[in-house]
Amino acid sequence: MRDSMDLMIQCLEILKEDSTRRGLERFLRTAARGLKLPALAIHLEQGERRRQLSCRTAGTRAVRFVFRLPLESRGVTFGTLVVGCGSLFQNLRVRKSCRSLALLLSTELGYRRREERLLRAAQADAFLNIKNRNAMEAQRRALMKRNVPRSVGVVYLDLNGLKQTNDRYGHKAGDHLLQRAVDFFAAYFHVNIFSDRASQDNCGHRYLEEKQAGQAA
């Protein structure tokens, strides 16, 4: 029991420290060695994308029994913990510990997924299919931290007639006009486009970043 608790604490510390791919791979290695499992894997689903992380323990017996535990957050299943066992006895013996591992993963990864959703929402324009000023500022800070030389072009655009369109035809028509402008620039220029407006009535300008050095005019 003590060894199992120590293993859970160690795995929790790994997830707290790093819940990226590298941290999850370290989590799998630690859990597989601690439970003497021949194989352990995580399947994660993000929309239409699926990621699989796996670990096979060197020098152990072949996988003869497999069971799966769902990874859930607030009633939504976003992945699976797949446990490979070398014998029926091991299959029965490790189930309780593996359920605890699945709970740790569900809690920590579910929290990270909620953080990512909140960040995406905070950096998205509420009415257009582009990022907003928060995302633009984050991009600017990231560019300033880079050490390598990079050519960056910034273009501010003010769309004429937007207020009149909003007043006469409604905000949906104004948003449609803005989206057409965004689509035009996205189609003809390989740039990132951001909105910079204080409200739905005012869409002041866009920030465009060149993808590669030397593309700026």
Digit-coded pLDDT (tens) for 71-94: 998 888 889 999 999 999 999 999
Number of Cβ atoms within 10 Å of the Cβ of 15: 19
pLDDT at 208: 43
Q: What is the helix, strand, coil percentage profile of the chain, to 5?
A: 50, 25, 30
Q: What is the pLDDT of residue 149?
A: 59
CATH of 2-122, one of 3.30.450.40, 1.10.3720.10, 3.30.420.10, 3.10.129.10: 3.30.450.40
Residues 6+ apart with CB under 8 A from 112: 19
Residue 180: CB atoms within 10 Å: 10
Report the pLDDT averaged over residues 191-213: 52
* Residue 205 reports pLDDT greater than 60: no
pLDDT tens column, 42-53: 998 866 567 788
The domains of the chain are located at 2-122, 133-210
Task: Quote the radius of gyration of the chain (alpha carbons, Å).
Answer: 25
What global pTM score does this model have? 0.61
Q: pLDDT band for position 156 (50/70/90)?
A: confident
Residue 38 has pLDDT above 80, yes or no: yes
